Amino acid sequence: MNGLNDLRVKIFADGADVGGMVDSYKLPYVKGFTTNPTLMRKAGVRDYRAFAQEVLAAIPDRPISFEVFSDDLAEMECQAREISAWGDNVYVKIPITNTLGQSSIELIARLSRAGVKVNVTAMMTERQVESAIGALAGGPPAFVSLFAGRIADTGRDPVPIVAAALDALRPHPHLELIWASPRELLNLFQADEVGCHVITMTNDLLAKLKVVGKDLDEFSLETVKMFRDDAVKAGYVLAPRASV
């Protein structure tokens, strides 16, 4: 297994807790950041602009993706143009469709032609990736987010789909593929092995990086100690039963 210093895939911290984002900014292996409305709501964010301004003031020099939240394509465009103006390191996340299943490809193409750096999000099929590439070709740098973790949730192996997406992206060096929604640390090494450009990782997954390469016998012993300590703390007792 490669160590962290040997990985080619870039790690982007995925979250919306400002303190956690700032802490991740101090980590040399975190190369960028992603957010979304679900993470923001979970973190208690109420004022979208104020949140973004606070984050950008603290993290001015690494890519950060903020997502539009309208379900109307015209309003999505207005939001995207404003969000894009917040900073040179800002990428605007546009979902591949709205909630009615209406394609956002024309909107993505229009934004890309206008110089907006887009992160096309919520994609799970090769067809969606190919349509996004067509919309982003010839534009500024952009990200294509394939939700590999959610693909895996359906019982499908995401690696062949990621590999096919990378093949489609190869003629477009300004486009980078993101392995989104990873479920376990193993996904980091899978993404690296297949040649994916970026993987997003929540704070919970980032915290697990400290066990990369850990001796498994040592890890086993620590696990046994954890079970024993918790049993003692819980005060579990199996008192002998009285004989009948």
User: Which phi and psi angles does 25 have, rounded to 5°?
Assistant: -60, -25
What does the pLDDT look like over 53-76, one tens digit per residue?
999 999 999 999 999 999 999 999
| Domains located in the chain, CATH noted | 4-214 (3.20.20.70)
**Residue 6: pLDDT above 90?**
no
**Residue 240: pLDDT above 90?**
no
What does the pLDDT look like over 150-181, one tens digit per residue?
999 999 999 999 999 999 999 999 999 999 99
What does the pLDDT look like over 189-200, one tens digit per residue?
999 999 999 999
**Residue 122: pLDDT above 80?**
yes
State yes or no: is 93 an active-site residue: yes
Question: Is the CB of residue 80 less than 8 Å from the CB of residue 94?
Answer: yes
**Residue 119: pLDDT above 90?**
yes
**Residue 38: pLDDT above 80?**
yes
Question: Is the CB of residue 144 less than 8 Å from the CB of residue 176?
Answer: yes
Question: Is the CB of residue 114 less than 8 Å from the CB of residue 86?
Answer: no
Burial of 233 (0-12, 13-18, 19+ CB in 10 A): exposed
- Mean pLDDT over all residues of the chain? 96
pLDDT at 242: 76
pLDDT at 4: 80
One of 26, 42, 93, 233 is an active-site residue; which one? Answer: 93
CA gap 10, 83 in Å, rounded:
24
Question: Is the CB of residue 97 less than 8 Å from the CB of residue 124?
Answer: no
pLDDT band at 244 (very low <50, low <70, confident <90, very high): low
For tokens 């990200």, name the residue.
143
What is the SS3 assignment for 69-128?
CCCCHHHHHHHHHHHHCCCCCEEEEEECECCCCCECHHHHHHHHHCCCCEEEEEECCHHH
CA gap 41, 55 in Å, rounded:
15
Check the CA dihedral 157-161-164-166 and report its sign: negative
CA gap 182, 165 in Å, rounded:
17
- Report residue 45 as tokens: 């964010």
